[in-house]
Amino acid sequence: MDHQSTSASQAPLAAEFVNVSKSFGAFTIIDDLNLQIRPSERVSLIGPSGSGKTTILRLLMTLERPNEGEIKVFGDVLSAGGEGAAKARPDREFRAIRGKIGMVFQQFNLFPHMTALENVMEAPVQVLGTQRQEARDLAECLLKRVGLAEKGASYPSQLSGGQQQRVAIARALAMKPQIMLFDEITSALDPEVIGEVLEVVHNLAHETKMAMLVVTHEMGFARDIADRVIFMERGKIVEDASPGEIFNSPRNDRTKAFLNAIKR
Amino acid sequence: MNLLLEISPVLLRGAYTTVLLTLVSGTCALLVGFAVGLARLARTRWLSIPLAIYIEVFRNTSSLVQIFYFFFVLPLIGIRLEAFTTGCLVLALNFGAYISEVVRSAILSIDRGQHDATIALNMPTSLSYRRIIIPQAIPVMLPAFGNYALELLKATSLVSLITITELTFSGAQLVQYYGHPTLIYMSIFVIYLLLALPLVALNKALERHSGGQWKPKVPTT
């Protein structure tokens, strides 16, 4: 809670959840949640499966709409629960806000009918209206940055899982988001390629000022990447503290139980 | 042999009409099918209910009755169309109904993750469909399109019953005039087969070309 009170007077929050609830049928997955992410902040979300971590990312990316509450991005309402609240905003304004967010998925979700380079170029050209040559230069630069300079002409089906995920990271970066969401980006990978993907994310954390929201089951990664770790259970935030506190001296019994279970 | 030479101009003209009917109604059926299939995906109720009714009516009634209905009943309410136009219209609506379901189910078969990725890249829905979803759905549609193209080629014989002298009808007329049903119908048989072959080849080529590059045929390294 300390984080939130100190940030109140500073620049607008990168993202803010205000009393957000989300349920699928009778099952409440996010329960009256309040969450604030400051610009450039790196936050890890940990917790048992079904605790709502991924749903937080999907809500922020507008892949899901909240049933109640409000989600703000840099002070603007991105989506809100209740009738027509989100629809009231003109599409152009809505997309201007959504464009500040990028996401990398567990299953990569690369476009299989396009080469790695085309995957990265597609949105800058088609959405931002970037000149093709400029977009190509940017894409080549980003592929180089994720260590895939030679793979531009390959189709996703010709790449390993680790390579595909790195292309997906380059593709998300090409839109220059201010908040980047990583949704269990190593969960679908073979153990031997997890390291190469995590290294790319670590480098990004050093080289950029994007806010990052990371959902992961890799506890070492969750600790090393973050300024702040949030432990969730049953759609609620149970503990919200620095990585040191959460991993070395968790206050909450359920956090302790979860971390102990993982160690075993 | 002499007889064959004598009847060949009539048969060829009939074959020409059959090809023309197939091409015109086929193109229209594709347009109708895509428009209806995509419109039904939009899930706006005022649109999707009438379209669902259209599809079920045209799929679940006899094509022949549909042709008769349009040809004999529409004039009674003041809509007069040429026989050829009527034939193409009914065939296009009939096959369009089937094709719309192919289009719809192919698009629904595309992984949810692809839609998620287009949203995460801030694409508007129209762009997402045009550049990402439909290009992936088309290879899924092609085998069914090939089938319907062949079906359509054969279904054009139905419009002989509303006075269009296509291949089957010209054959029937020749039999009435010359006799020799075995020879004449055998020629028609062969002509239909010859007309179908390019369609089969075209479809094979299309299936190979589209998606051929990126379909995962090599195991991932």
Tell me how close the Cα of B126 comes to any Cα of chain A, in angstroms.
11
| pLDDT tens readout for residues A159-168 | 999 999 999 9
Gyration radius of chain B's alpha carbons: 21
Q: What residues in B contact A101, CB-CB < 8 Å?
A: 120
Q: Phi, psi at residue A213, to the nearest 5°?
A: -120, 115
Chain B neighbors of A62, CB-CB under 8 A: 119
> Phi and psi of B114, rounded to 5°?
-65, -40
Q: Percent of chain B, pLDDT > 70? A: 94
Q: Which chain B residues touch A180 with a CB distance below 8 Å?
A: none
**What values do phi and psi take at A141, rounded to 5?**
-60, -45
Tell me the torsion sign for CA atoms B77, B83, B85, B86.
positive
- Cα–Cα distance, A128 to A85 (Å, whole number): 26
> What was the pLDDT predicted at A5?
45
Within 3-62 of A, beta carbons closer than 8 Å to B belong to: 61-62
Between B152 and A1, name the one with better pLDDT: B152
List chain B domain ranges: 2-209
Q: Is B220 on the interface with A (CB under 8 A)?
A: yes
Question: Are A109 and B116 in contact (CB < 8 Å)?
Answer: yes
d(CA A87, CA A74): 19
Q: Parallel, antiparallel, or unpaired: how do β-strands A211-215 and A42-46 relate?
A: parallel
For A225-235, write each residue's pLDDT tens digit: 999 999 999 99
Query: What residues of A are in contact with residue B221 (Cβ under 8 Å)?
Result: 158-160
What is the distance in angstroms between the Cα of B124 and the nearest Cα belonging to chain A? 8
CB-closest option in A62, A91, A122 to B119:
A62
Contact A113 B116 (CB under 8 A): no
User: What is the rounded distance in angstroms from the CA atom of residue B115 to the CA atom of residue B131?
Assistant: 11
∠ Cα A147 A148 A154 (to 5°): 170
Average pLDDT over residues A83-93: 69
Q: Which SS3 state, helix, strand or coil, does residue A141 take?
A: helix
Give residue for tokens 């959902």: A215
pLDDT at A221 over 50: yes
Residues of A in contact with B215 (CB under 8 A): 112, 157
Higher pLDDT, B204 or A14: A14
pLDDT at A67: 93
What pairs with residue A233 in β-bridges? A236
Per-residue pLDDT band at B88 (split at 50, 70, 90): very high
Pairing type for strands A15-24 and A76-80 reads unpaired
Region B66-93 average pLDDT: 90
ipTM attached to this prediction: 0.92
What's the pLDDT at B45?
82
Q: pLDDT digit string (tens) for B113-140? A: 999 999 999 999 999 999 999 999 998 8
Tell me which chain B residues have a C-beta less than 8 angstroms from the C-beta of A167: none
B55 within 8 A of B36, measured Cβ to Cβ: yes
Instruction: Mark which residues 227-256 of A lie under 8 Å from B by CB.
Output: none
| Mean pLDDT in residue range A205-214 | 95
B2-209 in CATH: which number? 1.10.3720.10
Domains and CATH numbers, chain A: 2-100+177-263 (3.40.50.300), 109-176 (no CATH)
Sequence-distant (≥ 6) Cβ neighbours of residue B137 within 8 angstroms = B103, B106, B107, B109, B110
Instruction: Render chain B in DSSP notation, one character per residue.
Output: -HHHHHHHHHHHHHHHHHHHHHHHHHHHHHHHHHHHHHHHHTT-HHHHHHHHHHHHHHHSS-HHHHHHIIIIIGGGGT----HHHHHHHHHHHHHHHHHHHHHHHHHHTS-HHHHHHHHHTT--HHHIIIIIIHHHHHHHHHHHHHHHHHHHHHHGGGGGGGT---HHHHHHHHHHHH--HHHHHHHHHHHHHHHHHHHHHHHHHHHHHTTTTTS--SPP-
pLDDT of residue A1: 44
- Work out the average pLDDT over A18-38: 93
Note the pLDDT of residue B211: 59
What type of residue is B138? I
Return the DSSP state at A56.
Answer: H
Q: What is the mean pLDDT of residues B65-94?
A: 90
Mean pLDDT confidence for A175-200? 94
Contact (CB<8Å) A157/B218: yes
Mean pLDDT computed over A67-88: 82
- Looking at every residue in chain A, the average pLDDT score rounds to 91
Quick one: tokens of B176? 């009435």
Round to whole Å and give the CA distance between B173 and B167: 10
Please give the Cα distance from B168 to B161 (Å, whole number). 10
Please report the pLDDT score of residue A87 as a whole number: 58
**Radius of gyration of chain A from its Cα atoms, rounded to whole angstroms:** 18
* Cβ–Cβ contact B216 with A under 8 A: yes
pLDDT of A129 above 90: yes
Residue A66 sits at the chain B interface (C-beta within 8 Å): no
Q: Where is A232: in which H helix or E strand?
A: strand A228-233
Q: What mean pLDDT is predicted for residues A78-86?
A: 73
